[in-house]
Structure 1
Amino acid sequence: MLRVGVLVSGGGTNLQAIIDQVESGQLTGVSLEVVISNNPGAKALERAKKHHIPALCVSPKSYATRDEFNQALLDELEKYQLDLIVLAGFLVVIPEIMVKRYPNQIINIHPSLIPSFCGNGYYGLKVHEAALARGVKVTGATVHYVDAGTDTGPIILQKAVEVKEGDTPEILQRRVMEEAEWKLLPAAIQLIADQKKAAE
């Protein structure tokens, strides 16, 4: 069984896509152990509780320094003996201590086809605003491993999404979620679960 922890900052639609696939039996060999948010008001925490998944907040505001917050987040994750950490809209820079502790065990979903529109400053609607400003005809989403850089780790899966005439950043964001993100993230977790099973 692949023990998974999910880190979220907001609404948790990607988390919901994972929960739905686990509960429907489409995503197998996976156990959702914990959901952690940096934001006490994140709707994602409610989603987790509704499905009886431990949900907690580790907020940077509760700590005097960033290092203390980073250590607290790592300490919390350690309690759950996780095989995989999934960043599902987690708007916190992953600290180096976490990347070192979980090499090739942290994955992120990014709402573009990396290497386009990624790196520092590209998150949320900003990615879609940049894609529309550039006039691209195709965008999409990428699931990748997290390393010490921003959106620089090895790519696991990508899916293209058409940009349509008249798209606003909000409309494009929604289409990328529905057509790419909500499918890619569970698929990537399944790949990793299958690899773990094959190695056992």
Structure 2
Amino acid sequence: MSDKAKETPKKIVIFASGSGTNAENIIKFFQKSQNIEVAAVLSNKRSAGALKRAYNLNVKALLFDREALYESHDVLNILKDIKPDLIVLAGFLWLFPKRIIREFSGKIINIHPALLPNYGGKGMYGSRVHEAVIANKEKESGISIHYVNENYDEGQLIFQATTQLENTDTPDSLAQKIHKLEYKHFPEVIQQLLEKEK
């Protein structure tokens, strides 16, 4: 490996629609790294906590609308300018556009709060997933990290981790268990994927 390759950190761009706890966790994890950095956090919601968390951690925070993602090339051009080594969807709720998937083939991953292929697909996110898992009296749930393709939650699986359910679990208590798995494993899987590229 050349000295130049050592000097240039790998870049991550995070897309998030919600409170941004996963985005914040990933940013903090890689702030200790010399080799990997979060270059920007992008969100489709002005009220998303993810933008504020990124801003507070001195990471570029960008808001975009539906037109910028699907109709114009604005979001694609931002990504081309940053040249991320990995695009990470951390609670991003819109279907990712085909042209960005083509441009960054094999470089876009998502995390889902259930054990895919179960409890995935359009409309299955957040508490809706946990409510369905509990309603079906499942014995376990977990997280799935997968590559992004043109359909919700159908890309190739990279990693799964499980947690056991108790009879007393509620959607909220299950959400807490899932968050623990996300915070522990998501940054580690991102790191492994980027280090494998060297």
State if a TM-score over 0.5 links the two structures. yes
**TM superposition shift of 1:124:** 1.2
Question: Could you list the runs of 5+ residues in structure 1 that have no partner in the other structure?
Answer: none
Pair 1:52-2:58 in alignment = yes
Residues 18-97 of structure 1 mapped to structure 2, 5 A cutoff: 18-23=26-31, 25=32, 29-60=35-66, 63=67, 67-68=70-71, 71-97=73-99
Question: Could you list the runs of 5+ residues in structure 2 that have no partner in the other structure?
Answer: 1-8
Runs of 4+ in 1 over 2 A off after TM superposition: none
**TM superposition shift of 1:161:** 0.9
Q: TM-score with structure 2 length normalisation?
A: 0.90
For 1:67, the aligned partner's letter is Y
8 A contact 1:29–1:193 mirrored in 2:
no
**TM superposition shift of 1:157:** 1.0
Q: TM-score with structure 1 length normalisation?
A: 0.89
Aligned position for 1:9? 17
How far apart are the structure 2 equivalents of 1:181 and 1:106?
17
Question: Which protein has greater RCO, CA pairs closer than 8 Å, 6+ apart?
Answer: 1
Count the aligned residue pairs.
190
Aligned position for 1:189? 190
- Aligned residue for 1:79, secondary structure, equals helix
For 1:190, the aligned partner's letter is Q
Aligned position for 2:150? 148
Aligned position for 1:129? 131
How far apart are the structure 1 equivalents of 2:34 and 2:119?
32
- Aligned residue for 1:16, secondary structure, equals helix
For 1:68, the aligned partner's letter is E
Pair 1:101-2:111 in alignment = no
How far apart are the structure 2 equivalents of 1:170 and 1:112?
14
RMSD: 1.6
For 2:194, the aligned partner's letter is A
**TM superposition shift of 1:93:** 0.7
**TM superposition shift of 1:29:** 2.2
- Aligned residue for 2:52, secondary structure, equals helix
8 A contact 2:95–2:150 mirrored in 1:
no
How far apart are the structure 2 equivalents of 1:37 and 1:46?
11
Pair 1:161-2:163 in alignment = yes
Residues 158 and 28 of structure 1, relative CA distance in 2, 3 Å threshold? farther
Query: Percent identical across equivalent pairs?
Result: 35
